[in-house]
Copies of this chain bind each other. A is one copy, B any other.
Amino acid sequence: MEEEEEGRNMVVNTYPLSSYTFCTKEAKMEKDISVVDRCARLKFNYIKEGMRTTVGGILLVQEHNHPHILLFKNRYNFYTLPGGRLKLGENETDGLKRKLTSKLGADSPAYVPDWQIGECVGIWWRQKFGTIIFPYCLPHITKPKECRKLFLVHLSEKEYFAVSQNMKLLAVPLFELYDNAQSYGVVISTIPELLSRFQFNMMTN
């Protein structure tokens, strides 16, 4: 493999949070109101369609020259990345774009960002039904239940986001996520390490 191939010290332009415009849109139905509900739904869908593939987008902004990530917080104080489940056979990039539009796009197509899906930075596996997820799949697990892929989403200098009324969208700094699985879960709390290889170019207004 060519050494420079992957673009070492890859640069990501990061614009101030204040560059972006946020408005609200109609509340979406929440699919689960408890962890038990969620596990039951996963199991039902697995029986129907097999292993689910889910995708999450890492949308970066900067404040005080430090990278922040856009996260949803629901009314149970549960944090999630914008994203969701792919349809059967759906391409990851297309599926993530569809989900980003559903979660963050305005109702008017003219205002929906032209999503630039970038690098896959991490892949997690749900080996069994339940809440535990690992950054590898053990060889004896022949039927994993979920494959979860995280992608960088490169934002333009200006974007217009619309957030469902029943969700909050927060810009959370990397230093808050780091080593904080208790608040953000193992996937989101490891994003600082996954992004550490990138060089952030902090843009100003």
Contact = CB atoms under 8 A, between A and B. Distances in A.
A194 B124 CA distance: 11
Contact of A65 (B139, B174, B195): B139
B6 A178 contact: no
Given A122-B197, A193-B122, A175 B138 contact: yes
A3 B194 contact: no
A126 B76 CA distance: 36
Interface string A177-205: 01100000010001011111100000000
Given A134-B178, A197-B120, A66 B7 contact: no
Given A66-B139, A192-B135, A9 B120 contact: yes
What 10 pairs between A and B have smallest CB-CB spacing? A135-B196, A65-B139, A135-B193, A135-B192, A123-B196, A190-B193, A6-B119, A122-B196, A8-B120, A120-B197
29 contacts: A1-B116, A1-B118, A3-B118, A6-B10, A6-B118, A6-B119, A6-B120, A8-B92, A8-B120, A65-B139, A67-B136, A120-B197, A121-B197, A122-B193, A123-B196, A123-B197, A124-B196, A134-B175, A134-B192, A135-B174, A136-B192, A136-B195, A136-B196, A179-B186, A190-B190, A190-B193, A193-B193, A193-B194, A194-B194
